[in-house]
Amino acid sequence: MKIWSTIKLILISAVALVGLTFLTVDAPVKIEKKKIDLQDLPKTVELIGYENQEFNTASIIKKETLIYVGNHESIVLADELEKMLDLEVGKFIVVSNVSDAPWFIKRWQAHTKNTNLKGEKNTPWIYDRDGAIRNFLTVPTSDAVKYFIYKVDSKGIINRVYVGKVKQGTIDGKMTQKEITDNLSLAIKAIKNN
C-alpha cells in the first residue's frame, strides 16, 4: 500500500511541475526581419549585478560596440571572447538570452549562473528576462548551444556578424580550452572582416 501512495505522489508532483512550467512560459514573439537601428532600442534593461534596477538601454548599447548574445550553454564563452578581443570597457556587451525559460528558472537557476559567470568584471551584462533585446536584435532562436555576435556601426546600425555553436555540456566544462579558443578564433575573424 505504501508503494502505491508513493507512486501517486510522484505522479501528482510530475504533473504539477509540468503544469507549472507550461503555465509560466511566455508565448514566443514573432520575429520580423528588418533593419536594426539604435534609435529603436527598448527603453530599459536589467543588468546582472544590479538586481531590481532598470537602466537606460541607450547608455549601455552605443555606436561602435559588440554585442554577444548567449543562451544557457553558450553564455560561458562570453568572458573568453572578451579577453581575446581586449576591447576597452563598455565596447563589449553580453546579453543573456533567457526569455524562453520558465519563470522559476529565470529567477533562480539562470540568474545565479549568470551572476557567477560575470563575477566582478565591469562588462555590461544584460539579463534579458522579458526578451526585449532578443526581439530587438531579431535573434532567431534560444537554442542553448548557439551564440550570436552583433556589431553596432558608427551610424547606429546593428548587423549580425557571426553565429556560433558550442558543445552540449559546455556549461559543465565539456569544452577544452583549445576547443574554446578555436571556436572563438572563427568569431574574431568574422568580427574583423565586418
Domain ranges of the chain: 28-192
How far is Cα 137 from Cα 149, in angstroms, rounded to an integer? 10
pLDDT digits (tens, 9 = 90+) for 122-160: 889 898 888 899 999 999 888 889 999 999 999 999 999
Distance CA 94, CA 124 (A): 6
Q: What is the pLDDT of residues 84-107, one digit of tens each?
A: 999 988 899 999 887 766 555 555
pTM given for the model = 0.78
Alpha-carbon 92 to chain mean position: 14
73 pLDDT band, cuts 50/70/90, is confident
CB 132 within 8 A of CB 138: no
Q: Are 149 and 191 in contact (CB under 8 A)?
A: yes
C-alpha–C-alpha distance, residues 98 and 17, integer Å: 19
28-192, which class in CATH? alpha beta
What is the arithmetic mean of pLDDT over 74-89?
91
Q: How far apart are CA 27 and CA 23, in angstroms?
A: 10
